[in-house]
Amino acid sequence: MTDQREKLILSNEDVSNNGQEKKVFPFADLPSSLLELIMCCLVLRDNIRASAVCKAWRKVAEAVRIAGKHPWVITFRKRDDLIVLYDPMERKRYTLNLPELAGTDVCYSKDGWLLMRRSSLVDMFFFNPYTRELIDLPKCELSFQAIAFSSTPTSGTCVVVALRPFTRYNVRISICYPGATEWANEDFSCSLGFDPYMHSNLVYANGHFYCFSSGGVLVDFDLASRTVSHQVWSEHRSPYIHSDEWFNRPKRIYLTEQKGELFLMYTCSREKPMVYKLVSSNWEEMGSTTLDGVTIFASMYSSETRVDVLGMRNNVYFPKYGLKSKTCTSYSFDEGRYHKQFPKVKYMWQMRKELCPLRSLWIEPPPKNV
Protein backbone atom coordinates (compact mmCIF):
# COMPACT_ATOMS: atom_id res chain seq x y z
CA MET A 1 0.00 0.00 0.00
CA THR A 2 2.82 2.37 0.89
CA ASP A 3 4.66 1.62 -2.36
CA GLN A 4 1.54 2.44 -4.33
CA ARG A 5 1.18 5.77 -2.54
CA GLU A 6 4.78 6.62 -3.25
CA LYS A 7 4.08 6.16 -6.95
CA LEU A 8 1.35 8.80 -6.92
CA ILE A 9 2.34 11.77 -9.05
CA LEU A 10 1.35 15.35 -9.35
CA SER A 11 0.87 16.11 -13.04
CA ASN A 12 1.57 19.46 -14.59
CA GLU A 13 1.37 19.86 -18.37
CA ASP A 14 4.16 21.93 -19.82
CA VAL A 15 3.35 22.22 -23.50
CA SER A 16 6.28 23.04 -25.78
CA ASN A 17 6.11 24.57 -29.22
CA ASN A 18 5.04 21.27 -30.78
CA GLY A 19 2.50 20.62 -28.00
CA GLN A 20 3.89 17.17 -27.16
CA GLU A 21 5.99 17.64 -24.00
CA LYS A 22 4.61 16.75 -20.59
CA LYS A 23 6.35 16.92 -17.23
CA VAL A 24 5.33 14.93 -14.19
CA PHE A 25 6.43 15.66 -10.63
CA PRO A 26 6.27 12.99 -7.92
CA PHE A 27 4.98 14.10 -4.53
CA ALA A 28 8.41 13.42 -3.06
CA ASP A 29 9.92 16.11 -5.31
CA LEU A 30 7.76 18.96 -4.02
CA PRO A 31 9.97 21.60 -2.37
CA SER A 32 10.22 21.03 1.37
CA SER A 33 9.32 24.69 2.02
CA LEU A 34 6.04 24.22 0.15
CA LEU A 35 5.32 21.01 2.03
CA GLU A 36 5.94 22.77 5.32
CA LEU A 37 3.46 25.50 4.42
CA ILE A 38 0.85 22.87 3.58
CA MET A 39 1.42 20.83 6.72
CA CYS A 40 1.37 23.86 9.01
CA CYS A 41 -2.18 24.63 7.84
CA LEU A 42 -3.48 21.18 8.76
CA VAL A 43 -5.08 20.20 12.03
CA LEU A 44 -3.50 17.27 13.87
CA ARG A 45 -5.91 14.69 12.43
CA ASP A 46 -5.26 15.74 8.81
CA ASN A 47 -1.53 16.04 9.46
CA ILE A 48 -1.44 12.38 10.50
CA ARG A 49 -3.38 11.35 7.39
CA ALA A 50 -1.07 13.36 5.12
CA SER A 51 1.98 11.70 6.65
CA ALA A 52 0.84 8.39 5.13
CA VAL A 53 1.14 9.65 1.52
CA CYS A 54 4.85 9.06 1.10
CA LYS A 55 8.14 9.13 2.97
CA ALA A 56 8.87 12.76 2.12
CA TRP A 57 5.45 13.89 3.33
CA ARG A 58 5.81 11.87 6.51
CA LYS A 59 9.15 13.46 7.30
CA VAL A 60 7.80 17.00 6.91
CA ALA A 61 4.50 16.22 8.65
CA GLU A 62 6.29 14.85 11.71
CA ALA A 63 8.64 17.85 11.77
CA VAL A 64 5.82 20.42 11.93
CA ARG A 65 3.36 18.32 13.93
CA ILE A 66 2.69 20.03 17.24
CA ALA A 67 0.20 18.33 19.49
CA GLY A 68 -1.55 20.77 21.77
CA LYS A 69 0.85 21.94 24.47
CA HIS A 70 -0.97 22.68 27.70
CA PRO A 71 -0.14 25.74 29.84
CA TRP A 72 0.91 25.54 33.48
CA VAL A 73 -0.53 27.27 36.51
CA ILE A 74 1.53 30.09 38.00
CA THR A 75 0.65 31.11 41.56
CA PHE A 76 1.92 34.16 43.44
CA ARG A 77 2.24 33.65 47.16
CA LYS A 78 1.20 36.46 49.48
CA ARG A 79 3.94 36.46 52.07
CA ASP A 80 7.18 36.13 50.09
CA ASP A 81 8.71 36.48 46.65
CA LEU A 82 8.35 32.81 45.74
CA ILE A 83 6.11 31.82 42.88
CA VAL A 84 4.81 28.31 42.29
CA LEU A 85 4.58 26.61 38.90
CA TYR A 86 2.28 23.60 38.58
CA ASP A 87 2.07 21.17 35.68
CA PRO A 88 -1.51 19.79 35.70
CA MET A 89 -0.61 16.79 33.51
CA GLU A 90 2.53 15.63 35.29
CA ARG A 91 1.05 16.85 38.61
CA LYS A 92 4.35 18.37 39.68
CA ARG A 93 5.06 21.62 41.54
CA TYR A 94 8.11 23.84 41.14
CA THR A 95 9.10 27.04 42.94
CA LEU A 96 11.02 30.05 41.68
CA ASN A 97 12.58 32.73 43.85
CA LEU A 98 11.92 36.01 42.05
CA PRO A 99 12.65 39.05 44.25
CA GLU A 100 11.72 41.29 41.30
CA LEU A 101 8.08 40.38 41.95
CA ALA A 102 8.00 41.09 45.68
CA GLY A 103 5.06 43.35 46.53
CA THR A 104 3.47 43.12 43.09
CA ASP A 105 0.17 41.88 41.69
CA VAL A 106 -0.34 40.01 38.45
CA CYS A 107 -2.66 41.51 35.82
CA TYR A 108 -2.36 39.39 32.70
CA SER A 109 -0.41 36.57 31.04
CA LYS A 110 0.32 35.85 27.38
CA ASP A 111 3.01 33.98 25.42
CA GLY A 112 5.10 33.34 28.53
CA TRP A 113 5.09 37.00 29.64
CA LEU A 114 3.40 38.51 32.69
CA LEU A 115 1.96 41.99 33.05
CA MET A 116 2.61 43.08 36.64
CA ARG A 117 1.58 46.02 38.83
CA ARG A 118 3.56 47.23 41.82
CA SER A 119 1.95 48.06 45.16
CA SER A 120 1.86 51.73 44.20
CA LEU A 121 -0.85 50.69 41.71
CA VAL A 122 0.50 53.04 39.04
CA ASP A 123 3.81 51.34 38.22
CA MET A 124 3.39 48.57 35.67
CA PHE A 125 5.92 46.36 33.90
CA PHE A 126 6.33 43.23 31.78
CA PHE A 127 8.20 40.30 33.25
CA ASN A 128 9.36 36.98 31.85
CA PRO A 129 9.76 34.55 34.77
CA TYR A 130 12.00 32.23 32.76
CA THR A 131 14.52 34.76 31.41
CA ARG A 132 13.88 37.32 34.21
CA GLU A 133 13.70 40.06 31.61
CA LEU A 134 11.85 43.14 32.88
CA ILE A 135 10.37 45.94 30.72
CA ASP A 136 8.87 48.99 32.42
CA LEU A 137 5.79 50.85 31.25
CA PRO A 138 4.80 54.48 31.94
CA LYS A 139 2.85 55.17 35.11
CA CYS A 140 -0.83 54.30 34.81
CA GLU A 141 -2.56 56.93 36.91
CA LEU A 142 -6.13 55.66 36.42
CA SER A 143 -7.60 52.45 37.74
CA PHE A 144 -8.96 49.82 35.36
CA GLN A 145 -11.16 46.75 35.51
CA ALA A 146 -9.69 44.75 32.62
CA ILE A 147 -6.34 44.85 30.86
CA ALA A 148 -4.57 42.84 28.15
CA PHE A 149 -1.69 43.06 25.67
CA SER A 150 -1.59 41.92 22.06
CA SER A 151 1.78 40.14 21.72
CA THR A 152 5.10 39.66 23.43
CA PRO A 153 6.63 43.00 24.53
CA THR A 154 9.77 42.24 22.52
CA SER A 155 7.88 41.71 19.25
CA GLY A 156 7.79 45.38 18.24
CA THR A 157 4.01 45.21 17.76
CA CYS A 158 2.93 44.91 21.40
CA VAL A 159 0.08 47.13 22.55
CA VAL A 160 -1.42 47.26 26.04
CA VAL A 161 -5.10 48.17 26.39
CA ALA A 162 -6.91 48.82 29.68
CA LEU A 163 -10.68 49.19 30.03
CA ARG A 164 -12.56 51.12 32.68
CA PRO A 165 -16.37 51.49 32.59
CA PHE A 166 -17.25 54.81 34.25
CA THR A 167 -20.98 54.22 34.12
CA ARG A 168 -23.25 51.82 32.31
CA TYR A 169 -23.02 53.97 29.18
CA ASN A 170 -19.47 55.33 29.31
CA VAL A 171 -16.20 53.43 28.91
CA ARG A 172 -12.62 54.71 29.07
CA ILE A 173 -9.93 52.87 27.12
CA SER A 174 -6.24 53.50 27.88
CA ILE A 175 -3.53 52.53 25.40
CA CYS A 176 0.21 52.06 25.85
CA TYR A 177 3.16 50.17 24.38
CA PRO A 178 6.75 49.33 25.42
CA GLY A 179 8.92 52.41 24.99
CA ALA A 180 6.05 54.90 25.31
CA THR A 181 6.33 57.80 27.72
CA GLU A 182 2.65 57.96 28.71
CA TRP A 183 -0.73 56.32 28.33
CA ALA A 184 -3.26 57.59 25.79
CA ASN A 185 -6.81 57.81 27.18
CA GLU A 186 -9.99 57.92 25.13
CA ASP A 187 -13.62 57.94 26.30
CA PHE A 188 -16.40 56.20 24.40
CA SER A 189 -20.15 55.91 24.81
CA CYS A 190 -21.94 52.57 24.92
CA SER A 191 -25.57 53.17 24.01
CA LEU A 192 -26.47 49.50 24.51
CA GLY A 193 -25.30 49.57 28.12
CA PHE A 194 -22.27 47.85 29.65
CA ASP A 195 -22.36 46.35 33.13
CA PRO A 196 -19.35 47.88 34.96
CA TYR A 197 -19.41 45.19 37.64
CA MET A 198 -20.03 41.95 35.73
CA HIS A 199 -18.02 41.49 32.55
CA SER A 200 -15.33 39.26 31.09
CA ASN A 201 -11.60 39.73 30.76
CA LEU A 202 -10.17 41.52 27.71
CA VAL A 203 -9.19 39.42 24.70
CA TYR A 204 -7.06 40.35 21.68
CA ALA A 205 -7.77 38.80 18.27
CA ASN A 206 -7.20 39.96 14.69
CA GLY A 207 -6.31 43.53 15.59
CA HIS A 208 -9.25 43.99 17.96
CA PHE A 209 -9.70 43.92 21.75
CA TYR A 210 -12.98 42.42 22.98
CA CYS A 211 -14.87 42.40 26.27
CA PHE A 212 -18.27 40.80 26.98
CA SER A 213 -20.79 42.20 29.47
CA SER A 214 -23.40 40.28 31.46
CA GLY A 215 -26.17 42.05 29.52
CA GLY A 216 -25.11 40.24 26.35
CA VAL A 217 -23.08 43.19 25.02
CA LEU A 218 -19.78 42.61 23.19
CA VAL A 219 -17.53 45.69 23.13
CA ASP A 220 -15.16 45.70 20.14
CA PHE A 221 -12.18 48.09 20.14
CA ASP A 222 -10.52 48.37 16.72
CA LEU A 223 -6.87 49.07 17.42
CA ALA A 224 -6.05 50.46 13.96
CA SER A 225 -8.88 53.00 13.76
CA ARG A 226 -9.13 53.61 17.53
CA THR A 227 -12.90 53.19 17.38
CA VAL A 228 -15.35 51.24 19.54
CA SER A 229 -18.38 49.33 18.32
CA HIS A 230 -20.74 47.10 20.28
CA GLN A 231 -23.36 44.51 19.58
CA VAL A 232 -25.97 42.98 21.85
CA TRP A 233 -27.33 39.43 22.01
CA SER A 234 -30.24 39.55 24.47
CA GLU A 235 -30.74 35.80 24.18
CA HIS A 236 -27.22 35.25 25.50
CA ARG A 237 -27.64 37.03 28.77
CA SER A 238 -26.44 34.34 31.15
CA PRO A 239 -29.30 32.70 33.08
CA TYR A 240 -26.80 32.15 35.89
CA ILE A 241 -26.60 35.93 36.27
CA HIS A 242 -30.14 36.98 35.43
CA SER A 243 -32.14 34.22 37.14
CA ASP A 244 -33.17 34.32 40.79
CA GLU A 245 -32.42 30.59 41.03
CA TRP A 246 -28.68 31.28 41.14
CA PHE A 247 -28.87 34.76 42.69
CA ASN A 248 -26.67 34.04 45.73
CA ARG A 249 -24.10 31.90 43.96
CA PRO A 250 -20.76 33.28 42.72
CA LYS A 251 -20.61 33.73 38.95
CA ARG A 252 -17.98 34.55 36.36
CA ILE A 253 -17.77 35.48 32.65
CA TYR A 254 -14.77 34.37 30.58
CA LEU A 255 -13.78 35.33 27.04
CA THR A 256 -11.04 33.66 25.01
CA GLU A 257 -10.08 33.00 21.42
CA GLN A 258 -8.86 30.15 19.24
CA LYS A 259 -7.24 31.13 15.93
CA GLY A 260 -9.24 34.37 15.88
CA GLU A 261 -12.57 32.80 16.83
CA LEU A 262 -14.15 34.00 20.09
CA PHE A 263 -15.34 31.65 22.84
CA LEU A 264 -17.59 32.85 25.65
CA MET A 265 -18.09 30.94 28.90
CA TYR A 266 -20.29 31.40 31.97
CA THR A 267 -19.66 29.59 35.26
CA CYS A 268 -21.75 29.46 38.42
CA SER A 269 -20.55 27.54 41.45
CA ARG A 270 -21.02 23.79 40.82
CA GLU A 271 -23.23 24.27 37.76
CA LYS A 272 -22.14 23.10 34.32
CA PRO A 273 -20.04 25.71 32.47
CA MET A 274 -21.94 27.22 29.54
CA VAL A 275 -19.66 27.65 26.49
CA TYR A 276 -20.52 29.51 23.27
CA LYS A 277 -18.59 30.14 20.06
CA LEU A 278 -19.13 33.19 17.87
CA VAL A 279 -20.00 31.89 14.40
CA SER A 280 -21.22 34.27 11.66
CA SER A 281 -22.38 36.89 14.19
CA ASN A 282 -24.25 34.29 16.28
CA TRP A 283 -23.23 32.59 19.50
CA GLU A 284 -23.55 28.81 19.15
CA GLU A 285 -23.56 26.70 22.30
CA MET A 286 -20.72 24.19 22.47
CA GLY A 287 -20.78 20.67 23.88
CA SER A 288 -18.82 17.43 23.71
CA THR A 289 -19.63 16.91 20.00
CA THR A 290 -19.03 20.50 18.87
CA LEU A 291 -15.96 21.52 20.88
CA ASP A 292 -13.96 19.20 18.61
CA GLY A 293 -11.03 18.74 20.97
CA VAL A 294 -10.83 22.31 22.30
CA THR A 295 -9.66 22.76 25.90
CA ILE A 296 -10.34 26.02 27.75
CA PHE A 297 -7.93 27.12 30.48
CA ALA A 298 -9.84 29.75 32.44
CA SER A 299 -8.66 32.31 35.00
CA MET A 300 -9.76 35.64 36.43
CA TYR A 301 -7.32 37.68 34.34
CA SER A 302 -6.84 35.81 31.08
CA SER A 303 -8.11 32.59 29.55
CA GLU A 304 -6.54 30.45 26.86
CA THR A 305 -7.53 27.62 24.54
CA ARG A 306 -5.67 24.63 23.13
CA VAL A 307 -6.65 21.98 20.61
CA ASP A 308 -5.98 18.23 20.73
CA VAL A 309 -4.19 18.17 24.09
CA LEU A 310 -3.97 14.49 24.91
CA GLY A 311 -5.97 13.71 28.04
CA MET A 312 -7.51 17.20 28.16
CA ARG A 313 -9.82 17.34 25.13
CA ASN A 314 -13.30 18.88 25.56
CA ASN A 315 -12.50 20.10 29.08
CA VAL A 316 -12.44 23.34 31.01
CA TYR A 317 -9.53 23.64 33.44
CA PHE A 318 -9.39 26.08 36.34
CA PRO A 319 -6.15 27.14 38.12
CA LYS A 320 -7.23 25.77 41.50
CA TYR A 321 -5.18 23.07 43.13
CA GLY A 322 -4.00 22.31 46.65
CA LEU A 323 -0.84 20.99 48.21
CA LYS A 324 -2.33 17.50 48.24
CA SER A 325 -4.40 17.83 45.07
CA LYS A 326 -3.83 15.34 42.31
CA THR A 327 -4.72 17.82 39.61
CA CYS A 328 -6.52 21.09 38.89
CA THR A 329 -10.28 21.35 39.08
CA SER A 330 -11.77 20.64 35.65
CA TYR A 331 -15.08 20.00 33.96
CA SER A 332 -15.37 17.28 31.29
CA PHE A 333 -18.03 17.85 28.63
CA ASP A 334 -17.64 14.24 27.49
CA GLU A 335 -18.49 12.92 30.96
CA GLY A 336 -20.75 15.80 31.99
CA ARG A 337 -19.16 16.30 35.40
CA TYR A 338 -16.46 18.04 37.39
CA HIS A 339 -13.27 16.27 38.36
CA LYS A 340 -11.95 16.87 41.87
CA GLN A 341 -14.68 17.37 44.44
CA PHE A 342 -15.45 20.90 45.53
CA PRO A 343 -14.23 21.51 49.08
CA LYS A 344 -16.67 22.55 51.74
CA VAL A 345 -16.73 26.30 52.26
CA LYS A 346 -18.40 28.44 54.89
CA TYR A 347 -19.30 31.38 52.64
CA MET A 348 -20.40 31.32 49.01
CA TRP A 349 -17.85 33.93 47.92
CA GLN A 350 -15.12 31.45 48.84
CA MET A 351 -16.30 29.14 46.04
CA ARG A 352 -15.15 31.65 43.43
CA LYS A 353 -11.68 31.54 44.88
CA GLU A 354 -11.70 27.76 44.75
CA LEU A 355 -12.15 27.75 40.96
CA CYS A 356 -10.04 30.80 40.05
CA PRO A 357 -7.84 32.10 42.87
CA LEU A 358 -7.02 35.79 42.54
CA ARG A 359 -3.29 35.16 42.49
CA SER A 360 -3.28 32.18 40.09
CA LEU A 361 -3.48 32.08 36.30
CA TRP A 362 -2.14 30.16 33.30
CA ILE A 363 1.23 30.65 31.63
CA GLU A 364 3.23 28.97 28.89
CA PRO A 365 5.37 26.13 30.28
CA PRO A 366 9.09 26.83 30.69
CA PRO A 367 11.41 26.13 27.76
CA LYS A 368 13.37 22.89 27.90
CA ASN A 369 16.62 24.75 28.56
CA VAL A 370 15.27 26.42 31.73
Question: CB atoms < 10 A from the CB of 200, how many?
Answer: 22
The Cα–Cα gap between 277 and 148 comes to 21
Dihedral in degrees, nearest 10, Cα atoms 350, 354, 358, 362: -170
Torsion of CA 269, 274, 278, 281, to 10 degrees: -100
CA–CA dist 13, 237 (Å, integer): 58
Q: How do residues 168-187 score in pLDDT, each as one tens digit?
A: 889 999 999 999 999 999 99
Which helix (H) or strand (E) element contains residue 257?
strand 251-258
54, HSE (Cβ side, Cα atoms, 13 Å): 15
Give the predicted TM-score (pTM) of the model.
Answer: 0.80
Among candidate residues 127, 71, 122, the one with its CA nearest the CA of residue 99:
127
The answer to whether 194 and 145 are in contact (CB under 8 A) is: no
Q: Decide: 287 and 305 in contact? Cβ < 8 Å.
A: no
Nearest to 36 by CA among 58, 60, 53: 60
Domains and CATH numbers, the chain: 2-64 (no CATH), 72-363 (2.120.10)
Give me the amino acid identity at 315. N
On the question of pLDDT at 34 being above 80, the answer is no
Q: How many CB atoms lie within 10 A of CB 327?
A: 15
259-296: per-residue pLDDT in tens? 899 999 999 988 999 999 999 889 999 999 999 899 99
Q: How does the average pLDDT of the chain come out, rounded? A: 84
pLDDT at 315: 95
User: For the sheet containing 72-76, what is the strand order?
Assistant: 92-97, 82-87, 72-76, 360-363
Give per-residue burial for 277-291: e unless 16+ CB within 10 Å, then b: bbeeeebeebeeeeb
pLDDT in tens, 319-344: 988 766 668 899 999 999 998 755 55
